[in-house]
Amino acid sequence: MTLRIAIDAMGGDNFPSPNIKAALELVNEESIEIVLVGKKDLLKKNLPDSFPESISIVHAPEMVDMNESPTAVFRKKKEASINVAMNLMFNGRVDAVVSAGNTGAAMASATFTLGRLQGITRPAIPILIPGIHGRTVMIDAGANVDCKPNHLLEFAVMGKYYAKLIMGKEDPTIALLNIGEEESKGDNLTVSAYRLLEGNLEGFIGNVEGHQIITGEQDVVVCDGFIGNVLLKFIEGIVSGLVGMFFDRQNERDNEILKQISYKFEYDETGGAPLLGVNGVVIISHGKSNSKAIKNAVLLAKQLIEHDINRRISMEMEKMVI
């Protein structure tokens, strides 16, 4: 069966160009159909006069600003591309949605339109952090604040299947981000979450501290979305800070290291992060995404669908004793 994936063509800082370019390349290389959602005129103007049949356009006349309130976008702009795209998925007309637009709006639209996956109360975002022993899935990277212990258990299960199905880790190890390794360490949230994870989660290896996100051997690190978001952005800050403080752009060796750092830390390769725990497949891409990033986001969506990650997560949640 050919997959149909919707791209929010009005999403991203440089819309619609990276979205259209990605669509054209994708249908050329993969047995995939792309639905571009956005202003029809604009999209037609940016597509070649004759474009492949496997690309279609669904008109969405309303525009969303990057800083607009997510719930306002959902409630008042039913014809915005992100909302139209989510409705296509809700109605079974596409298998996944990729958007580089307003992140909050995409999360709100996905959660309200698609609803939550069976067993999940808080959808969450896993991201990949490069480390000494390979990449670690950090979840949640910012979809939730004020989490309860059972939310952290949900994140852990979602992160586990992300590591298992998408990163190919057979028996993923899952750790809880904390301020000490001992079970008794932490704040109210992590002390309770520790017990819940220990009692319910195969692969749970205990607490890890901040440095172990980079130096540790765990496959998944679980945390509240507040701290996940701070860490995600802190990485951006420290990478650009290192560049600004220590490297000389005139120096060949410096440029080589910078290129490697960018390669590992940039979004192009992963393309984006899924919003796991909604009743559908949604990839949130960075506003700065180029066509390569959008293309990889679509391929990530394809993997999530093919591995049926949602069903696996729901099945595991059914087994939990909370």
Q: Contact residues for a copy of itself (CB under 8 A)? A: 130-132, 142, 145-146, 177, 179, 186-188, 190, 209-215, 225-227, 229-238, 240-242, 244-247, 251, 253-254, 257, 260-261, 264
Q: What's the closest the beta carbon of residue 308 comes to a copy of itself, in angstroms?
A: 32
Which residue, 87 or 178, has its beta carbon nearer to a copy of itself?
178
Half-sphere exposure for 318 (CA within 13 Å, toward CB): 8
Are 7 and 23 in contact by the 8 Å Cβ rule? The answer is yes
CB 163 within 8 A of CB 304: no
User: Smallest distance, Å, CB 222 to a copy of itself?
Assistant: 13
Residues 6+ apart with CB under 8 A from 28: 52
What's the Cα-to-Cα distance from 120 to each of 61, 162, 171, 299, rounded to whole Å?
Answer: 33, 15, 22, 25
Tell me the three state secondary structure of residue 273: strand
Least distance (Å) between residue 203 CB and a copy of itself? 22
Considering the complex, state which of residue 2 and residue 253 has its C-beta at the smaller distance from a copy of itself.
Answer: 253
Q: Which is nearer to a copy of itself, 2 or 188 (CB)?
A: 188
Q: Provide, rounded to whole angstroms, the least separation between the CB of residue 148 and a copy of itself.
A: 12
Query: In terms of CB distance, is 30 or 266 closer to a copy of itself?
Result: 266
Taking residue 160's Cβ as centre, other Cβ atoms within 10 Å add up to 28
Helix or strand (DSSP H, E) at 214? helix 212-215
Residue 25's Cβ-count burial label (10 Å; 0-12, 13-18, 19+) is: middle
Minimum CB separation from a copy of itself for residue 227, in Å?
A: 5
11 vs 186 by CB, closer to a copy of itself: 186
